[in-house]
Structure 1
Amino acid sequence: MNRNSFLKNSSLLAGTLLTGTAVIANSQLKNTDSAAGKPFNLNYAPHDGMFKNLAGNNFLDQIQFMYDQGFRSIEDNGMAGRSPVEQEKIGNLLAKLGMQMGVFVVDKGGNGQNTLTANKQEHIDIFLKGCKQAVEVSKRCGGKLATVVPGDFTRNLPLDIQNANVITALRKGAEILEPHGIVMVLEPLSDTPDLYLRTSAQTYMICKGVNSPSCKILYDMYHMAKNEGNMINNIKLTWDEIAYFQIGDNPGRNEPTTGEVNYKNIFKFLHEKGYKGVLGMEHGNSRPGKEGEQRVIEAYRESDNFL
């Protein structure tokens, strides 16, 4: 082949390749556009402030924005601290949109200052007061899941005695919540080495000891990535006691795709297991402003694209 023919044929080939690339790019763009507003395969739940630049500071406006982006749940750790009027407004909007309320935190439901491991009556009373308050919060916002953290180790007590103290206190809380269909979800954490509840297996044992449908596991994948790893296997082992998941990539505790956790594989596994519950987006945004908020949405579209 002479030089002119070779150049002519090469140009035609390059044009074909460029056209093919453009078709693929346009197809991907159309797929992304068509996904906007479509419900996700799993039920992810953003929180207050996650989309404040795109939707405004008003939480009700943010909820509407979340719905428009395809999210069908929210979570709000601080719901118990909102006024009753605000709780009702949030609950009414969720009902109107057909959205679910994920977790809210039981007020003082166990922490370093009132740990349930010590078997101190004043600590137990604070916890039970929080459970009674959770019943009223639930009535207003529609939430049926309440986060409980049993608190810190009591170092001068044997571990098995601490286990028994926690189980005993949680049974009392379950007695308050169970008639109302509310589930307290126990969250093992990685924040400090003083925290009593640290692994999914330990939390599983506590739930079995409480033996109530109102005491289950909150499997926060950010904390469990740090504390135990091997998440899919550990989820399988504790599956029958898990009622809720939370998301956060590690390191950084930001949206999926920013760290080392392969959330697409985990989401696919949960979908195949038939999980129909809420997955709380308990993480920050890796980038600031509107661009960062848009990136969060894109990251969930990418990680939810497992079918």
Structure 2
Amino acid sequence: MSTDTGLNASPETGVSAAQPAPLRFDANLKWLFTEVPFLERFDAAAKAGFTAVEYAAPYSYDPADLKRRLADAGLKQVLVNTPMGEPGTPTRSGVACFPDRVQEFRDGVDQGLEYATALGADFLHIVGGIRPDGVSRDRAFARYVTNIAWAADRSQGTGVRLVLEAMNKRDAPGFILDTQAQAAAVAEAVGSENVGLLFDFYHAQIDEGDLLTTLDNVWDRVFHLQIADTPSRHEPGTGEIAYTRIFDHLRRRGYQGWIGCEYAPAAGTVEGLDWIKEASA
């Protein structure tokens, strides 16, 4: 499966104009290896050939325990999310755009940075949130930008970079970021080299399409990538996205960062990993 090449993204971005390098895939443990309990997924990922992992919510576990499991399995932590509410609640996609939950947002960023630092994660995903009922889009968006600027200042000196993600409106109606370009504009407006994009091909395909052009238009701000096929969010090769072309494009552009496998396996995690062999060839 994935092999850690030892290449690291530059301090500013996950992309580089260097010679093409092998692509590096990490396992998202919320989505992959769900055949076993969460704490057993580290060893399962390593056994399958992964050398790095990411997952959204580490907060139910002691960071020392998670760090030990990473070390025992020989895995690197790539990314965690800021805390989110339970499924079905207004805060299920975060609170960064909630004008009346500023302290909750700040506490969540502090907690996220604490875990990300303890685990040696490269990135903290600041989850944007779904615009609250009764709050205008302009007001929610202004609060979001202000909160991102605060988080950027807070993250300085931690070694953790912040990523922003635009989610599709089919799965997350009312999500505060509409497009990849808007997410990049927020990162630009904040003015911190510590803030960039999490570009998710699944979300981008549903809302925008024209994936290679959409990616190239924000290339300088991309820190991290995630993949799943559309429309069913299974592994690459099960849907409509031409991932062979996308992977070739990433090689040509010299992408050196991680690519998070954030998909629901169609028929078992290990059984569905053959696509990585082709992608890594």
- Short-chain TM bin: 0.7 to 0.9
Equivalences for residues 184-223 of structure 1 within 5 A: 184-190=162-168, 191-223=171-203
Which structure is richer in relative contact order (CA contacts within 8 A, separation 6 or more)?
Answer: 2
Task: Structure 2 unaligned segments of length 5 or more: list them.
Answer: 6-21
Amino acid at match of 1:266: I
CA distance in 2, matches of 1:147, 1:158: 24
Q: Distance in 2 between matches of 1:56 and 1:223?
A: 25
Distance 1:112 1:149, change over 3 A: farther
**Equivalence for 1:33:** none
**RMSD of Structure 2 on Structure 1 (CA):** 2.7
Residue 59 (structure 1) aligned with residue 38 (structure 2): no
TM-score by length of 1: 0.75
The 5 A counterparts of 1:161-176 are 161-176=139-154
Give the letter for the 1:188 counterpart: A
1:263 matched to 2:243: yes
Other-structure match for 1:22: none
> Among 113, 122, 140, which residue is 1:135 paired with?
113
Aligned to 1:254: 234
1:50 aligns with 2:32: yes
The aligned length equals: 257
The alpha-carbon deviation at position 80 of structure 1 amounts to 2.9
Dislocated runs of 4+, deviation >4 Å: 36-40, 52-57, 154-161
The gaps in structure 1 that reach 5 residues or longer are 1-35
Q: Which has the higher helix share?
A: 1
Q: Report the Cα distance in structure 1 between the residues aligned to 2:233 and 2:37, rounded to whole angstroms.
A: 22
The 8 Å contact of residues 189 and 223 in structure 1, kept in 2 or not, is answered as yes
Cα distance, 1:158 vs structure 2:
5.4
Output the CA distance in 1 between the equivalents of 2:2 and 2:142: 48
Structure 1 CA distance for aligned equivalents of residues 208 and 114 of structure 2: 35
Identity among equivalent pairs (%): 23
Counterpart Cα distance in 2 of 1:38 and 1:204? 30
Indicate how the Cα distance of structure 1 residues 268 and 83 shifts in structure 2: closer, same or farther if over 3 A, else same: same
1:54-73 deviations in Å (ceiling 9; x for gaps):
9997233214313xx2x332
Q: Which amino acid is 1:179 matched to? A: G
Q: 2:56 maps to which residue? A: 77
The structure that has the greater radius of gyration is 1
Change (3 A) 1:55 1:160: closer
Aligned-residue offset at 1:37: 7.6
Give the residue type in structure 2 aligned to 1:60. Answer: F
Q: Deviation at 1:52?
A: 5.8
Question: Distance between the aligned counterparts of 2:160 and 2:4, measured in 1?
Answer: 26
Query: 2:123 corresponds to which residue?
Result: 145
Q: Aligned letter for 1:58? A: E
